[in-house]
Amino acid sequence: MSTPNHRPSPAAPSSMNLRGAVDLSALKARSAAPPAAAPAAPAAPSGGNAPAAPSPFVVEVSEQTFPQIVQLSAEVPVVIDLYSRTNAESQNVSAVLAGIAAEENGRMLLARVDVDAYPQIAQAFQAIAVPTVAAVLKGQPVPMFDRALPEEQIRAVVAELLQVAAANGVNGSLDGAAPEDPAAEAPLPPLHQEAFDAINAEDYDGAAAAYRKALAEQPADAEAKAGLAQVELMIRLRGADAEAVRRAGADESDNVAAQLAVADLDIAGGHVDDAFRRIISLIGRVHGEERETARLRLLDLFEIVGVSDPRVTKARSALARALF
């Protein structure tokens, strides 16, 4: 990974949401006996301040221990520090974040990911350079920043994250103990486990089949319904040429397939409101089977974003107006 070029400043605080562009599902498959995440201080930065002392609220993360970290995000915000040992800027950012985590004393967890050792995690967070810092709240990704920032700005972004977390009920505190071994958890239902295993193997068709079986057995299974919507999105986007898709969408404003394909890209890219507006506008212009196709796709995207998300609530009202 290379150091980043100049990029825009981090997103304004109001843009922090519980859903983003990141697909974490492929990293959530359970391992038979994963090692516990061990506390670790960041390596000393080159030419920067000395790193903070080791803290129980700073952990090194691997693909095996990542699911445990996601689970903790229901209690406290988890800051994901994607770093490289060969990049001095990322080491400086790591040192600042470790110091903040120690000061917060359990109100947040800093999860450090060596991108050279675990590129799959970096890819999941769409990290194209280091440092890249994101967060996870209630299992959902929140972008933070993707370049080296002064300590004052890093502290401001973390402070805003803590406010967003508290507003969403994520305001617990860790006691400094290492995350529990997920092997002690209750096992997933067999078909859900089959789906998670298939996702981990990038077999999205197999995952979809498992979720469909689960829904055939339990039509009210909300987790299977959301999981199916997500893997079907992955299948639709497989091999897609984003530029060609957007060009077709611009050229064919009333082509249902073209518009839904752009909406899929928007959802995958975290542009949730854009995707919803596009489909709702389309529903207002088409009729019959085309309108029903668009409506059903919108409902699927609601499942992906989360039926309790305020953007979904707003879009449902707009959908009702478009239909009636």
Rounded distance between C-alpha atoms, residue 114 and residue 59, angstroms: 11
Indicate whether 2 belongs to any domain: no
Question: Within this chain, do residues 170 and 240 fall inside the same structural domain, yes or no?
Answer: no
Indicate whether 1 belongs to any domain: no
CATH number at residue 118: 3.40.30.10
* pLDDT (mean) for 125-135: 89
Indicate whether 7 belongs to any domain: no
Among 182, 205, 231, the domain boundary falls at: 182
Amino acid at 299: L
Dihedrals φ, ψ of 79, to 5°? -90, 125
CATH number at residue 311: 1.25.40
Lowest mean pLDDT, pick from 13-17, 259-263, 310-314: 13-17
> Considering its fold, how many domains does the chain have in total?
2
Q: What pLDDT does 176 receive?
A: 55
Among 132, 155, 182, the domain boundary falls at: 182
Question: Within this chain, do residues 205 and 79 fall inside the same structural domain, yes or no?
Answer: no
Binned at pLDDT 50, 70 and 90, residue 161 comes out as: very high
Indicate whether 5 belongs to any domain: no
Question: Within this chain, do residues 264 and 170 fall inside the same structural domain, yes or no?
Answer: no
The range of the structural domain enclosing residue 231 comes to 190-323
Indicate whether 231 belongs to any domain: yes
Output the CA torsion sign for 173, 177, 183, 186: negative
Structure tokens of 166?
A: 């508290």
Binned at pLDDT 50, 70 and 90, residue 117 comes out as: confident
Question: Within this chain, do residues 197 and 307 fall inside the same structural domain, yes or no?
Answer: yes
| Confidence check: pLDDT of 269 > 80 | no
Say whether 76 sits in a helix, a strand or coil.
Answer: coil
Q: What pLDDT does 41 receive?
A: 38
Question: Within this chain, do residues 146 and 209 fall inside the same structural domain, yes or no?
Answer: no
> In sequence order, what are the beta bridge partners of 129?
2
Rounded distance between C-alpha atoms, residue 129 and residue 92, angstroms: 15
Would you tell me how many other CB atoms lie within 10 Å of the CB of residue 11?
15
Q: What pLDDT does 280 receive?
A: 96
Question: Within this chain, do residues 204 and 149 fall inside the same structural domain, yes or no?
Answer: no
Question: Within this chain, do residues 243 and 143 fall inside the same structural domain, yes or no?
Answer: no
Structure tokens of 71?
A: 């689970």
Rounded distance between C-alpha atoms, residue 121 and residue 114, angstroms: 9
Question: Within this chain, do residues 226 and 315 fall inside the same structural domain, yes or no?
Answer: yes
Structure tokens of 168?
A: 């969403």
Contact 218, 253 (CB under 8 A): no
Contact 79, 97 (CB under 8 A): yes
Among 133, 151, 182, the domain boundary falls at: 182
Indicate whether 4 belongs to any domain: no
Greater confidence, 178 or 254? 254
Question: Within this chain, do residues 143 and 206 fall inside the same structural domain, yes or no?
Answer: no
In the chain, the percentage of residues whose pLDDT exceeds 70 is 80
Question: Within this chain, do residues 17 and 102 fall inside the same structural domain, yes or no?
Answer: yes
| Confidence check: pLDDT of 32 > 90 | no
127-154 CB burial, b ≥16 within 10 A, e <16: bebbbbbbbbbbbbbbbbbbbbbebeeb
Question: Within this chain, do residues 26 and 107 fall inside the same structural domain, yes or no?
Answer: yes
Residue-wise pLDDT tens digits, 242-256: 899 999 999 999 999
Indicate whether 84 belongs to any domain: yes
Mean predicted lDDT score pLDDT of the chain:
80
* Distances 284 to 280, 291, 299, 300 between C-alpha atoms, Å: 6, 8, 16, 18
Amino acid at 277: R
Residue-wise pLDDT tens digits, 35-92: 333 334 333 333 333 343 457 899 998 887 888 888 888 899 999 999 988 888 888 9
Q: In what order do the strands lie in the sheet with 140-145?
A: 58-60, 109-114, 78-83, 132-137, 140-145
| Confidence check: pLDDT of 136 > 70 | yes
